[in-house]
Structure 1
Amino acid sequence: MYKVTREIHFCYGHRLLNYSGKCRHLHGHNGKVEIELYSEKLNELGMVRDFEEIKQVVQVWIDDNLDHNMILCRRDPLIPALEERKERYYLIDENPTAEAISKLIYDYAVSQKLPVSEVRLWETPKSFASYRK
């Protein structure tokens, strides 16, 4: 099995609903995503996929949708205040944990026909969550 990994950096904010710790407050992260692709054989150029293709597909989507954005649960009562102030936000169905965001990115990459084996989201230099099927 061959694997390649592309690293993507982005900044985002979030908060966790119904959480008693510090993460219940709005805060931000300098996130790092690792997108790992796999293949049992290499293409005609000797690659799993071109790193530039991963950048054009996934990094462009992250830059457009998640970078410098608040990632919030659809049920977050803060949404009307953000709308009133014309602030950016991206809504997901669950709490925007590192686990949920890694799955969000995984699902997008798979929807774009990339052979993803795993997505890791580093929320801090010491902590990451990952998603794979």
Structure 2
Amino acid sequence: MISITKKIEFEAAHRLSSYDGPCREIHGHTYKLEVTVSGQDLNETDMILDFKTLKKIIKTAILDQFDHSLILKDNTENRLFLTNYPGKIFWMETEPTGERMILVMVQLIHSLLPQSIRLDQVVLYETSNSYLTWKNNKG
């Protein structure tokens, strides 16, 4: 099994509408994302997956959705508050905590990977010293 990892950064803002503290306010982060995939077999170019292909998958799954967006729970409070907001909003069914965001990102990335490639790990840095890790526990 061979693994490759691609790292990207993106800017986004969010608010935790049900949180009792400063994260209830709209605030932004420079997110860093590390995506590790693995494969058993090398393709016709002697790679498990071209880094360019993985980058394109991450762009489509993550950057096109989250980069420079406002990430919010789809609830009445947020809808009323941002009725006339002209910018990019990524609506979530849940509060956009790091834990919920990484689960959505895993689903989005996984849906675009070739069947021969396994998503092993996703690491999401919310700050330079605070991050979350999702690991594929299926052998």
Counterpart position of 2:94: 94
Listed one character per residue, the Cα deviations across residues 4-37 of structure 1 (whole Å, up to 9, x for unaligned) are 1000110000011221222111100000111110
Whether 1:34 and 2:34 are equivalent positions in the alignment is yes
Three-state SS of the structure 1 residue aligned to 2:32 is: strand
Counterpart position of 2:126: 123
CA distance in structure 1 between the aligned counterparts of 2:24 and 2:45, rounded to whole angstroms: 48
Q: Write out the 4+ residue segments of structure 1 that deviate beyond 6 Å after TM superposition.
A: none
Shift of 1:47: 1.9
CA distance in structure 2 between the aligned counterparts of 1:45 and 1:101, rounded to whole angstroms: 34
CA distance in structure 2 between the aligned counterparts of 1:59 and 1:32, rounded to whole angstroms: 13
The residue identity in structure 2 corresponding to 1:23 is: C
The residue identity in structure 2 corresponding to 1:119 is: V
Gaps of 5+ in 2: none
CA distance in structure 2 between the aligned counterparts of 1:108 and 1:55, rounded to whole angstroms: 14
The 1:48–1:24 alpha-carbon spacing in structure 2 relative to 1, beyond 3 Å, is: same
Gaps of 5+ in 1: none
Counterpart position of 1:43: 43
With 66-75 and 110-119 compared, the bigger mean Cα shift is at 110-119
Shift of 1:61: 3.5
Give the TM-score normalised by structure 1: 0.89
Shift of 1:42: 2.7
Listed one character per residue, the Cα deviations across residues 74-106 of structure 1 (whole Å, up to 9, x for unaligned) are 126122332313232111111111121111111
With 6-15 and 37-46 compared, the bigger mean Cα shift is at 37-46
CA distance in structure 2 between the aligned counterparts of 1:21 and 1:40, rounded to whole angstroms: 46
Give the TM-score normalised by structure 2: 0.86
State, as a whole percentage, how many aligned pairs show the same letter.
29
Listed one character per residue, the Cα deviations across residues 45-93 of structure 1 (whole Å, up to 9, x for unaligned) are 2322111001112123423211110111112612233231323211111
C-alpha contact (below 8 Å) 2:11/2:69 kept by paired residues: yes
CA RMSD of aligned residues (A): 1.7
